Structures are given as C-alpha cells and as structure tokens.
Structure 1
C-alpha cells in the first residue's frame, strides 16, 4: 500500500508541476504578445510621423520654388 500511496503522490506532484509549467508558458506568451503589439504600434506611429515630416518637407520645397497649385 505504501508504494501505491507514493505513486499517487508522485503522480499528483507531476500533475501540479505540469499545471504550473503551463501557467508560466501562458504568462510568457501573453507578455511576448503584448511586447510585439507595443513594438508594432510604436513602428506604426514612427512611420506616420516620418510620412508627415516628408509631406511637410515636400510642401516647403514646393512653396520655396513656387510650385504650389
């Protein structure tokens, strides 16, 4: 009986360890997804700022050369 009890206890502990590992994996995946979304948003904002600056520079050159419509 002691062997059966030990086996049950070890099986229970293995199940607990597996559940903890799954929780840790899920948390890490959530953190990674959040970091990716943040980086994507930052890149999009930077791209929009660069586009606006380029359009402003183009307009400035057109104004300086009298090419505005």
Structure 2
C-alpha cells in the first residue's frame, strides 16, 4: 500500500469518525430541545387548566349571586 493510499484511508476514517460525532451531538441537542418543549407544554397545560377552573368557579359564584338576588337561589328555597 502506498503512502498516498494510506493517508487517504486515514483521512477517510477520521472524517467518518468526526461525522459520527457531529451526528451524535445533533441528536443530543434535538433530544434536549424536545425534552424542554415537552416540559414547557406540560407547564402551559397545567396553567391553562388551573385558570379554567378559576374562571369556572368565578362564573358559578356570579350565577349564584344573581339567583340569590332574584330569590331563586339555593339559599332562598323553602325546605
């Protein structure tokens, strides 16, 4: 094997190893970004659910207030 062929083979091997390292690095970065996105989505979903429950509770309180004002609420019915 000539020196040129040896050098070409060595360069090819180094290039292939470096390419594999870069691919692995990109995969790691993509996985980390996916994990952060999933965590942010979970936090957003929890926040929206909590806010929805608060709005529902406030609306129910308003309905009860109107019913009581009109005399048809649970507090005003005869038992």
Q: Structures share a fold, TM > 0.5?
A: yes
Partner of 2:23: 29
- Structure 2 unaligned residues grouped into runs of 5+: 62-79
CA separation in 2, counterparts of 1:27 and 1:65? Answer: 57
Partner of 1:56: 50
What is the root-mean-square deviation of aligned Cα atoms in Å? 1.3
CA separation in 2, counterparts of 1:20 and 1:48? Answer: 42
Q: Does 1:12 align with 2:45?
A: no
**Which of structures 1 and 2 has the larger relative contact order (alpha carbons within 8 angstroms, sep 6+)?**
1
TM-score, normalised relative to structure 1: 0.83
TM-score, normalised relative to structure 2: 0.73
Residues matched between the structures, number: 61
Q: If each structure's helix is expressed as a fraction of its own residues, which one has the higher value?
A: 1
